[in-house]
Each structure stands twice: as C-alpha cells, then as structure tokens.
C-alpha cells in the first residue's frame, strides 16, 4: 500500500521586501492513502502552493519530512505527477508528443508510447487533436492534455495546483466532472490544491483546510458518486458541507 | 500564399528599385556626371558581366562567403553550449548579462585593429571579426532564451522524470531556439558589415577588397557593382534562409513574444 506521509513539514524563507523570515508552511502533518482524493483549500497566501511545491520536490522543505511509500522525497520525480495552473505544455511538441513524453523518458518505443498517449487522449475526448500544437487548443483542452500527460506516466500521486483556475466557469465545471469520472475509473491518488470551496468539496473524499501555513481542519466528504453539478448544486448535504468549509476558510 | 500574391509581393519589392534605376540613369544623363564621380547603369552592368566572365566575381564572393561560413559555424558551435550553460543558472545569467550585452553591440568592425595584430592580414583576422560578431550575439540570445523558458516547463519535465540530458535536448534547446535563431540572424547582419570593412583593410581577396581595389583605379562602376552584389547577397541570405527559419520556429509554436 503506497502512502504519502507528511511529518511536521515546514517552510520558511527570507522575504527581501519585508526584510524578515516568513513562515509559509508550519508543521503540517498529513497522511494520504492510495486511491484517495484529497483537496487542500485555503485563501491565497495560506501556503497551499508552497506545500504542493515541496511535495513535488520543486523546493526543499525547511523542516520535517515527506515520505512516499516509506521513502523520503528528494527533488522532483516521475512517481509524483504534477498538473500546473499554467498548463505547462511544451509548445514545440504536439499534443501527442506532450502526452507521450513521460513514457518516452521511461524508454518506451515510439509505437508503445504513442499507443499509451492515444489511449489517454481518448479518455478526455481529444484523440482528434493529437497532431495539433498546444497553442492551437482552447484553455480547457490544454488542461485536459496537462492532466492526461501526468496520468500517462502512471504516477503514485497526482499533484494538481489550482489546475482549473485559469479556464472559464462553464469549462471548469465540465473539467471537474471529467476529473471525478477519471478518478472513479482509475483511482489515482490525488492531492488537489484550490481556493474554490465548492470545487474542493465536489471533487474530494477529504478536504483539508489550510490557514496561515497550518492545517485548520480535515473534513471527510461522503457524498455519493458519480458526482455531477446538476445533482449536487441543490443537494442539501453538499450545501451544508460547502457552507462549513467556507466558514472555516473565511474565519482563517 | 497563392502564386498571384507571391507575384504581387515581388512586384512591390521590385517597383521602388526599378524607380531608383530610372532616376539614376536620368540624373547621370541630365547633368552629364563624370564616370569618375558616379557610373551610369550600363557601365555597371558591363562591369558586372566582365567580372563574371573573368571569374573575379566568383573568386571574391567565394572568399567572402567562405570566411562568413567558417566564422559563423565556429561561433555557433561554441556559443550555444556556453549560452545554455549560463542560462540555466539565474545567478550566472544575471551576472554575465551586462558583459554580453556590451560585447554584442561592440561586435564587428571595432575588432579589426586588434584582429590584424593577433592574426596578421588575411583569413585569420577576418574570420575572427566574423566569429566575434556572431559569438557574442548568439551567446547572449541563447542565454536569454534559456532564462526566459517558464519555470513550470522545466518543472513539468523534471516531474515526468527527465534527466539532465533530456532536459537539455527536449526542453532547454527547443525552448531557446526562437531566441537562438534571432541571435544568429542579428549576428550574421553584424558579421556581414564587419566582413566588408575588414576585407577593405586586411586582405587581398573578397568583396570588400574588390571595392577598395577598384577605388585605386577610379573604377566607380566596379565599386557600385560590388555594392549591389553585397546588398543582394545579404538580402538573399536573410530572406531565403534566416527570416523563414525564424518565422518557422516562432510562429509554429505560437511563441511570438508579446512585447
């Protein structure tokens, strides 16, 4: 059983404008089981992106440790896939080449890796744009590519950093529904960073509310799946949960 | 582009040149300008024809292009790895940027005196001038190109498992390519100007030398013909090779930098 464990994770850095050390993340301890979908929600500046960057290995922790499957995390690695807010697709690679890039690094032959890439593009209905370049795609389509590029590498954990924050509201709802569908089909372990309370509750099994670098509260979400906005928008349980989380976030 | 609009573009390009030719001939005739001051169109054409027939045009052009090719290729081979190495570290690139910006603008003609001191007259000195013109601009642009690759792209590659080598070949080089091509185009422009100047001083073959030699014999028609050749060669190089290359890399990737 692969688990992600954060133990007293902290991050302080020197802020040249404030002229002082700032604590972005303070002694955060969290355990994510295999196949879990955890949302981390909080206002901007609460340290949620810093937290994700440490788990991804983009920045070193100042204290504490990150263990994936009992092993300490050190730097970025393919067992932790990342989906970025800015999509971060390679503009010089076609959609297919972007998705096939992880498998290519793993040393798979062209036929094998393109087969995998096409399967994943099929999953989000983008098989027909495989030969296009990212800049020819809409924002929503680009982020679908971003999601399956990370999935195609078969990571132990998928780290998503406000991935739907830069697409329009309609597209965002569609993407959220697609993500819950993919999660139900494949059960990847997901840590999803967002400032959107509704999104956090809609997607996750567990919502972690972050405030001033600390975990304020963890809330289990037992809403039935499959989840769809048509069903949940007026759902009493969903509204109650969202209200509870919203209150926590606003009190922060 | 359809064929007719190609034709239209060519026509628009040629029309002002044709007008210039017409004015030139008209002025020479109206004022009876002496050939020692400025030649008429016909004698320039004749000078051109002669230089083609006796092989001197080919010899001079060949020497010039060979120097440009050697200097440019050498410079590119060294400056791209150097630029990448400097660009991956923000600290190093910030530190060295002013230096390379300074040498980028200094490049070219200013190196001729020192080049002749170091290499003597001829191939070495001139190739050195070209090397310098290309080297600093391409290094600077490569550095800039690598440094301006959005960090998430490097993060994305790293978290897909990219090794240092993969990062270099699949992210840093293609990411910096539009800048590199722009650098080569700019650098070659400097190099071409530097070449002609250097050849007037430091050699006995080449297009610049052809111009300078003709001056000693008051052969204004050879001088003007040489100028035309120099201009046309650059236009061909730039329009047929460099500009399309630049467009292809920048436009296809949608990487037009919004200024």
Digitized pLDDT (tens) for each residue of chain A, 252 residues in all: 689 999 999 999 888 888 888 899 999 999 999 999 999 999 988 999 999 999 999 999 999 999 999 999 999 999 999 999 999 999 999 999 999 999 999 999 999 999 999 999 999 999 999 999 999 999 999 999 999 999 999 999 999 999 999 999 999 999 999 999 999 999 999 999 999 999 999 999 999 999 999 999 999 999 998 899 998 988 999 999 999 999 999 986
* A76/B175 CB distance under 8 A: no
Question: Strand, coil or helix: what is B149?
Answer: coil
Own/partner long-range contacts of A235-244 (Cβ < 8 Å, ≥24 apart): A238/A201, A238/A202, A241/A201, A241/A207, A242/A197, A242/A198, A242/A201, A244/A219
Question: Strand, coil or helix: what is A80?
Answer: strand
CATH number for region B58-253: 1.10.3720.10
In the block, which residue shows the tokens 């969290």? A30
User: Which segments of chain B are extended strands (E)?
Assistant: none
The answer to whether the CB of B108 falls within 8 A of the CB of B190 is yes
Rounded to a whole number of angstroms, the distance from the CA of B201 to the nearest CA of chain A is 45
Own/partner long-range contacts of B3-9 (Cβ < 8 Å, ≥24 apart): none
| B41-53 vs B220-236: helix crossing angle, rounded to 10 | 70
Bond before A226 cis per omega within 30 degrees: yes
- Chain A hits for B161, Cβ within 8 Å: 77-78, 102, 105-106, 153
Q: Which of B159, B175, B177 lies nearest to residue A56, judging by beta carbons?
A: B159
Tokens coding A56 = 């991804």
d(CA B147, CA A189): 34
The answer to whether the CB of A94 falls within 8 A of the CB of A133 is yes
Give residue A205's pLDDT: 96
H or E stretch covering A67: strand A63-68
Q: Are strands A157-161 and A80-83 parallel, antiparallel or unpaired?
A: parallel
Give the closest residue to B174 by CA, choosing from A26, A97, A210. A97
d(CA B183, CA B104): 10
- Mean pLDDT over each residue of chain B, to the nearest integer: 89
The answer to whether the CB of A67 falls within 8 A of the CB of A31 is no
Q: Which of B174, B175, B252 lies nearest to residue A133, judging by beta carbons?
A: B252
Digitized pLDDT (tens) for each residue of chain B, 259 residues in all: 566 788 898 888 889 989 999 999 999 999 988 888 899 999 999 999 999 999 999 999 999 999 999 999 999 999 999 999 888 888 888 888 888 888 887 767 788 889 999 998 889 999 999 999 999 999 999 999 999 999 999 999 999 999 999 999 999 999 999 899 999 999 999 899 889 999 998 888 999 999 999 999 999 999 999 999 999 999 999 988 888 888 887 776 665 443 3
Q: Are strands A71-72 and A4-15 parallel, antiparallel or unpaired?
A: unpaired
Angle at A143 between CA A142 and CA A147, to 5 degrees: 125
* B163/A92 CB distance under 8 A: no
Confidence (pTM):
0.85
Give me the residue spans of the domains in chain B.
Answer: 58-253
Domain A4-79+157-251, CATH among 3.30.360.10, 3.40.50.300, 3.90.1640.10, 3.60.110.10: 3.40.50.300
Residue B168, classified by CB atoms within 10 Å of its CB into exposed (0-12), middle (13-18) or buried (19+), is middle
Q: Which of B152, B161, B174 lies nearest to residue A106, judging by beta carbons?
A: B161
- Chain B hits for A106, Cβ within 8 Å: 161
Give the closest residue to B134 by CA, choosing from B84, B67, B230. B67
d(CA A120, CA A129): 12
Q: Which of A78, A84, A91 lies nearest to residue B161, judging by beta carbons?
A: A78
Give me the residue spans of the domains in chain A.
Answer: 4-79+157-251, 88-154
What is the Cα gyration radius of chain B?
Answer: 22
Rounded to a whole number of angstroms, the distance from the CA of B154 to the nearest CA of chain A is 9
The answer to whether the CB of B172 falls within 8 A of the CB of B85 is no
Rounded to a whole number of angstroms, the distance from the CA of B106 to the nearest CA of chain A is 33
Own/partner long-range contacts of B231-239 (Cβ < 8 Å, ≥24 apart): B233/B61, B233/B65, B233/B207, B234/B189, B234/B192, B237/B188, B237/B192, B238/B185, B238/B188, B238/B189
Question: Residue B254 region, left (φ>0) first, then alpha (ψ -120 to 50), else beta?
Answer: left
CB contact residues (below 8 A), chain B span 60-89, against chain A:
none
d(CA A130, CA A123): 13
d(CA A174, CA A141): 11
């Amino acid at each position: 059983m692969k688990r992600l464990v954060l133990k007293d994770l902290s991050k302080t850095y020197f802020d040249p404008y404030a002229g002082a050390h700032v604590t972005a993340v303070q002694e955060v301890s969290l355990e994510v089981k295999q196949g879990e979908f955890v949302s981390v929600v909080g206002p901007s500046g609460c340290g949620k992106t810093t937290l994700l960057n440490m788990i991804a290995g983009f920045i070193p922790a100042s204290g504490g440790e990150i263990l994936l499957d009992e092993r300490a995390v050190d730097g970025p690695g393919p067992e932790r896939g990342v989906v970025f807010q800015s999509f971060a697709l390679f503009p010089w690679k076609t959609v297919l080449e972007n998705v096939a890039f992880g498998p290519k690094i793993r040393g798979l032959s062209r036929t094998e890796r393109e087969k995998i890439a096409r399967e994943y593009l099929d999953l989000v209905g983008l098989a027909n744009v495989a030969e296009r370049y990212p800049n020819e795609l809409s924002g929503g389509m680009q982020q679908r590519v971003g999601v399956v590029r990370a999935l195609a590498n078969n990571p132990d954990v998928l780290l998503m950093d406000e991935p739907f924050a830069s697409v329009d509201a309609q597209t965002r709802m569609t993407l959220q529904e697609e993500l819950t569908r993919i999660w139900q089909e494949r059960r990847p372990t997901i840590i999803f960073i967002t400032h959107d309370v509704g999104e956090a509750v809609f997607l996750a099994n567990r919502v972690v509310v972050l405030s001033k670098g600390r975990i304020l509260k963890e809330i289990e979400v037992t809403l039935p799946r499959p989840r769809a906005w048509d069903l949940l928008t007026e759902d009493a349980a969903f509204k109650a949960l969202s209200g509870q989380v919203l209150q926590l976030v606003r009190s922060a | 582009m359809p064929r007719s609009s190609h034709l239209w573009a060519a026509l628009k390009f040629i029309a002002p040149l044709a007008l210039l030719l017409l004015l030139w001939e008209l002025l020479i005739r109206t004022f009876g300008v002496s050939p020692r001051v400025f030649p008429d169109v016909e004698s320039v054409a004749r000078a051109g024809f002669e230089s083609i027939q006796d092989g001197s045009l080919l010899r001079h052009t060949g020497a010039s292009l060979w120097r440009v090719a050697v200097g440019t290729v050498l410079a590119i081979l060294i400056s791209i790895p150097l630029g990448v190495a400097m660009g991956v570290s923000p600290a190093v690139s910030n530190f060295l940027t002013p230096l390379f910006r300074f040498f980028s603008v200094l490049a070219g003609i200013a190196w001729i005196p020192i080049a002749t001191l170091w290499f003597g007259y001829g191939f070495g000195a001139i190739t050195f001038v070209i090397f310098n013109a290309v080297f600093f601009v391409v290094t600077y642009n490569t550095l800039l190109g690598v440094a301006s690759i959005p960090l998430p792209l490097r993060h994305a590659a790293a978290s897909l498992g990219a090794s240092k080598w993969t990062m270099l070949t699949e992210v840093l080089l293609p990411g910096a390519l539009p800048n590199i091509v722009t650098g080569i185009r700019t650098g070659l422009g400097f190099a071409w100007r530097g070449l002609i100047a250097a050849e007037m001083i430091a050699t006995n073959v080449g297009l610049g030398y052809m111009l300078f030699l003709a001056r000693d014999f008051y052969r204004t028609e050879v001088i003007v013909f040489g100028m035309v050749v120099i201009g046309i060669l650059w236009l061909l190089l730039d329009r047929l090779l460099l500009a399309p290359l630049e467009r292809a890399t920048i436009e296809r990737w949608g990487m037009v930098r919004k200024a």
